[in-house]
A = this chain, B = another copy of it.
Amino acid sequence: MIVVMQPETSEERIKEISENLKKRGFSVHLSQGERRTLIGVIGQPQEGLSHSLEAMQGVEKVVPISRPYKLVSREFRPKNSVIELDEGVLIGGDRLVIMAGPCAVEGEEQMLETAQAIKSVGAQILRGGAFKPRTSPYSFQGMKSEGLKILSKIREKTGLLIVTEVMDPYSVEEVACYSDILQVGARNMQNFYLLQEVGKIKKPVLLKRGMSATVEEWLMAAEYIMSEGNYEVILCERGIRTFENYTRNTLDLSAAALAKQFSHLPVIVDPSHGTGRRDIIPAMSKAAVATGVDGLLVEVHPRPEEAFSDGPQSLTPEQFQHLMSELKGVAASVGRNI
């Protein structure tokens, strides 16, 4: 950490700050410029240190040097993490993992139809929300426990694994019981209590990036989960909020590329929420794969016009099948398969 002093701060003041730092156990290196002094602070960062320094008289700014994430970082684990699931499914391996399905579980028939369609073209994991975060309290909030049971039945019948969202700490255990991967949604990315709860279980967690979270905050949210002992975290980029209004969100593939670079965790991309427009989902899916991520999360619905939610961004099974065949070549061109 570097403390940049204001121009012409008295030597006395600088000494006071240096002494204060030494008392807290840091080594201090002064660097005298023409108008300013810099104080280099060496040692293990402490809670709130930067803030209390910035509040001191004479301090212009405090420049952090180290990145705040540890368990998440490539320095902690240089090799890619690969998460092993049932049925031999790997996340983070050479084969891209494709998760597909409707926004919400609406009934057994709808789920079975979708599951068979996506499985037949190579998807390995079925998505479907039983608990739905909705902007309005008057909107359909999901089939809840009943939805979980439907997912479980479909898993049994088809061999597809299940990813589904958990929205509150009370339901973590129940959702974990019926699914293979727990999803933490974008709106809950900094619901720290929920992060800690899913950090205590033994199930992989798919962590969506918050809609205005920086890459650093996203990685720190993963750090929350890992710091509780659950190292199986999958990062999922799903679009950020910008001024653009032709798309629902702005899919930020550079964030996915950076996450792959800074972290050993697997990274996947959700082009459906990331764009909100069926017409560019194929283009953005191919782009995501070319970026080098480990998989996709795609909304597929047998009859989008009857979907309870997110119809405009759902692919039909035919469109999904076409996309899967297009993705094969792109995956191969970056050394992956599908």
A160 interface residue (CB < 8 Å to B): no
- Which chain B residues border A193 with CB–CB below 8 Å? 167-168, 170
Which residues, 284 to 338 on A, are CB-close (under 8 Å) to B?
284, 286-292, 304-312, 314, 326, 329-330, 332-334
A134 to B288, CA, bound (A): 31
Say yes or no: A42-B38 contact (C-beta < 8 A), given A63-B63, A214-B246, A243-B212. no
A4 to B167, CA, bound (A): 35
A115 to B307, CA, bound (A): 54
Which residues, 183 to 221 on A, are CB-close (under 8 Å) to B?
187-188, 190-194, 196, 211-212, 214-217, 220
A136 interface residue (CB < 8 Å to B): yes
- Which chain B residues border A275 with CB–CB below 8 Å? 254
Select the stretch in A45-53, A76-84, A87-95, A116-124 that faces chain B. A45-53
Number of interface residues of A (CB under 8 A): 105
A169 interface residue (CB < 8 Å to B): yes
Smallest CB separation, A244 vs chain B (Å) = 6
Select the stretch in A25-33, A149-157, A173-181 that faces chain B. A25-33
A253 interface residue (CB < 8 Å to B): yes
The closest CB in chain B to the CB of A278 belongs to B55
A143 to B306, CA, bound (A): 50
A110 interface residue (CB < 8 Å to B): no
- Which chain B residues border A247 with CB–CB below 8 Å? 254, 258
Indicate which residue in B51, B244, B286 contacts A312 across the interface (CB closer than 8 Å).
B51
Say yes or no: A139-B250 contact (C-beta < 8 A), given A33-B42, A169-B170. no
A139 to B223, CA, bound (A): 12
- Which chain B residues border A134 with CB–CB below 8 Å? 192
Q: List 5 A-B contacts (CB under 8 A).
A: A54-B311, A168-B194, A187-B192, A214-B244, A286-B333
Q: Interface on A for B, CB 8 Å cutoff?
A: 2, 4, 29-34, 36, 38, 40, 42-43, 47-48, 51-57, 60, 63, 65, 68, 133-140, 167-170, 187-188, 190-194, 196, 211-212, 214-217, 220, 223-224, 227-228, 240-247, 250-255, 257-258, 260-261, 274-275, 277, 279-280, 283-284, 286-292, 304-312, 314, 326, 329-330, 332-334
